[in-house]
Structure 1
Amino acid sequence: MTTATAIWTRRHILSLMDFSVTELDAVLQTTTSLRDVLFRRMKKVPALQGQVVTNMFFEPSTRTRSSFELAAKRLSADVMNFAPGSSSLSKGETILDTAKTYLAMGADIMVIRHQQSGVPQAIAAEMDRINSGVSILNAGDGLHAHPSQALLDLFTICRGLDPENPRCELLRGKKIAIVGDIMHSRVARSNIWSLTTAGADVHLAAPPTLLPEGFREFATDAAGSLKLHWDIEPALKDADFVMTLRLQHERMTAHLLPSLREYHQRFGITGDRLKFCQPDVKVLHPGPVNRGVELASDVMDHPALSLVSEQVTNGVAVRMALLYLIGSSKANGSLN
């Protein structure tokens, strides 16, 4: 991990759009080292002892919030959790003033999740303006980005190719299909940036209402490639990995699908559909899963096909790595 922290220069993690292969590999290397902690008898290291991590989740979350909280505690950080329903936001306080309140209580790292795009960036800009030294980690903002989810997906895929040494070069020439509600998915956007930067060939598949033409511009100048499909078979043909995405009804403002039954018939991932893929194909899903809609239950529960449970485990390790990289660099005074 010494090498990883030596090259790490980011105070904030807001998006993967401008991440380099070197930075992605630093996350993979650090995650590999820290993942072992989760399986020790004493599941804790003193890496962030004395630092305060504040989880500010303005929208509901189970996996991401619990994962960040556990990751911080595994690194021996002190954790403060923000609950919007019982906060002063209901009395008219602004989001920036709420963040400054936690700053005054000693926060070193703020993990921000918000239903509106740009909120983590706005808080980061304000923290930098007042020279607070606080780091901001985007845990998902609107339709914009979800960097920690994409990084855990990247780690899960690379670890499937080489458990001992997950690294970006393993993805060169690999075909990865992303299927589902791509238009409303911040996970899809972040995965497109990270996977194509690593050199993978990414194929998007969804009904036209959930996959606008504009997504072609998401991988310009990347080492890998990006292709769009409005039928699922070309996307799945010879795919090495298939990532399914949840239909996000809460973000849909119009009737974009005739029915869930028809969606499953045309784009649901089933055992029969996976026959188009490579024989050793693996399936991922960021969760929560609508069983029988995006993903058939027998596929999700299949030990040889599904990486869904491993994604959850790896999520804690990746978030430990992100907190460690930011926190250790802050402690060493190496961030500007």
Structure 2
Amino acid sequence: MNFPDYRPRRLRRNATLRRMVRETHLRVDDLIYPMFSAFGTNIKKEISSMPGIYQQSIEHIVAEAKEVRDLGIPAVILFGIPEAKDAVGSDAYSDSGIIQNTIRAIKAEIPGLLVITDVCLCEYTDHGHCGVIKDGDVDNDATLELLAKEALSHVQAGADIVAPSDMMDGRIAAIRMILDENGFDPVPIMSYAVKYASSYYGPFREAAESTPGFGDRRSYQMDPANRLEALREAAQDVAEAADFLMVKPALAYLDLLRELKDNFDLPLVAYNVSGEYSMVKAAAEKGWIDGDGVMMETLLGMKRAGADLIITYHAKEAARLLAR
């Protein structure tokens, strides 16, 4: 295998050879598209830090969901901007909440599109934290009850998968229990198993209007310095009957994607988060990078690191390029 007997360039000589020996493949079936559903009508407001991504009222959400379906993307994940917020995020688990109504509207018009829902309270609380506040911090166990109610309400409205992103201890077990008790044992849970307290979330907080009113989320989201903790978090979610594991963010945590892929056999999801998306868009707008090329290389890198699925705001753009 020494030069000159082995020449790796032989297999790079032309596009057909390179395609035949390619080790990693990105497919449209790997993509999940995030959407922000806003209370009201005739709303389509572009997020200033996320070009091409919008807060939209339900009729526009349905129209874009049809476009997503037509591009071959199999699933969307929904985030909600409610009419009103309160201390316990009541709209999150209301039968007439923004997400519950959005699910019904999508399912009525596009029944074959898979609907995943983010299960958290931060978008619905007036303080912007992911649960019930007690003594200045989120009360873990009091929050579990509300998260379970939220997940159940989503599934009752027609959600295909629920995805808890709150990072409370024990939330997978609490959600699994309430779904099973109500006859929804076939519904999978996509766990945000490894979710770091990251600076990459800034544009999302504008999009979801979920910036904390005080403090930060470091008492429940993970320390970016920790690797072994990620394995413990994932193992606990597996023990509590999660059906998917997720790493969020993805780009700065590709090593964690590989760790989880090597240690667990559940489908693995990478969340290509808002900051990652916005950096590509901003640099491309300046002419500093080839936006499409960097986008596709980044998504392929997440697949190579071990992701089976990728939640990405680039999903529609990527799907169009993959169809060429």
If the length of structure 1 is used for normalisation, what is the TM-score?
A: 0.29
Identify the structure with bigger relative contact order (alpha carbons < 8 Å, sequence gap 6+): 1
